[in-house]
Amino acid sequence: MKLEASIGKSLSGDRGEFAEIVRQFQRPLFSFLARMGLDRPVSEDIAQETFVRAWINLGRYDPAVSRFSTWLFTIARNLALSELDRAEKRPEARETLPDIACEQPGPHEKLDLSRSMSRLRHALSGLSQADRSILALAYVEDMTLSEIAKIEGCTKVAAKVRIHRAKMKLRILMEKENG
Amino acid sequence: MVDELDGLMGKLSQEPPDDFLEVVMQRIDDLPLPVRAPRADLQWIALIAAALAGFAQLIAFLFGIWAASAAV
């Protein structure tokens, strides 16, 4: 209800209310982009562009059609897929995966987690764009299967199957990373 | 393994930079206000009205042809 009020006020020109919307969604959006396998500078650009496009097209958002988060993540997903597409066409870009500081000294558990995360990021980069996209959406808090299906343009059953398959592929890639 | 994967995926996150909100709002300040989309029901009414007007024109045209040919 508060969000809908903020959207209404933003449409009336209250940019401060839109700042509240940005504040509310910036963290989940950055996490989503990280799970898409994008590094920090790229995530920052895409997140910025997502909010700018959301502002420009706010008048077209229809609460009767979808939740605001679904609409916002659809914009972010499309931008992320375009970026991944561009990155695939730049061969050197595949080498710019964020390198977690595995060699940093520190407690064992922290180091293990850091290594696991590094392996996960590498494994994610081995997935197809479609798999990355649906998997990243599956881990967005409060995102239902129906909403994921809507964003991905498929049925709920197809979304469930695709998530399951993407997880299986990621598991295999992780096992390969583990050697 | 799947549980471990879920755990790792849950932990995989990025924090927005401290100045992110400020940067976004600076960009938005330079943009015009969003334009409200016309209501869908009004769009339908306009479409039906335009279709009726077009149909009336067609009927008038056909009647004109009939009247002209009947007068000959």
- Write out pLDDT tens, residues A41-88: 999 999 999 999 999 999 999 898 999 999 999 999 999 999 999 988
Q: Which one of A30, A52, A59 has the shortest CB-CB distance to B14?
A: A30
The whole-model pTM stands at 0.79
A100 confidence band (pLDDT: 50, 70, 90): very low
The whole-number pLDDT of residue A106 equals 59
Report, as an integer, the average pLDDT of B17-28.
95
The whole-number pLDDT of residue A99 equals 46
Domain ranges of chain B: 2-71
- The residue of chain A nearest to residue B36, with distances taken between CA atoms, is A59
At A51, give phi and psi (nearest 5°): -70, -35
Show the domains of chain A with their CATH numbers. 2-178 (1.10.1740.10)
Residues in chain A with CB shorter than 8 Å from the CB of B35 are: 59
Asked whether the beta carbons of residue A135 and residue B1 sit closer than 8 angstroms, the reply is: no
- Write out pLDDT tens, residues A112-137: 778 888 888 899 999 999 999 999 99
Percent of chain B with pLDDT over 90: 61
Q: Six-digit token pair at A71? A: 């609409």
How many C-beta atoms surround the C-beta of residue A57 within 10 A?
A: 14
Instruction: Please say if the pLDDT value at position B45 is more than 90.
Output: yes
């909403």: which residue's tokens? A147
Q: Which one of B5, B20, B36 has the shortest CB-CB distance to A167?
A: B5
Asked whether the beta carbons of residue A51 and residue B28 sit closer than 8 angstroms, the reply is: yes
Indicate the angle between helix axes A129-138 and A15-35, nearest 10 degrees. Answer: 120
Report, as an integer, the average pLDDT of A97-109.
53
- Using CA atoms, how far apart are residues A15 and B21, in angstroms rounded to an integer? 12
| Mutation choice for A interface testing from B13, B15, B31, B35 by most A CBs within 10 A | B13
Instruction: Please say if the pLDDT value at position A39 is more than 50.
Output: yes
Q: Which one of A40, A58, A139 has the shortest CB-CB distance to B14?
A: A40
Among residues 50-79 of chain A, which lie with CB inside 8 Å of chain B? Answer: 51-52, 55-60, 62
Quote ipTM for the complex: 0.80
Asked if residue A163 lies in contact with residue A138, where contact means CB atoms within 8 angstroms, the answer is yes
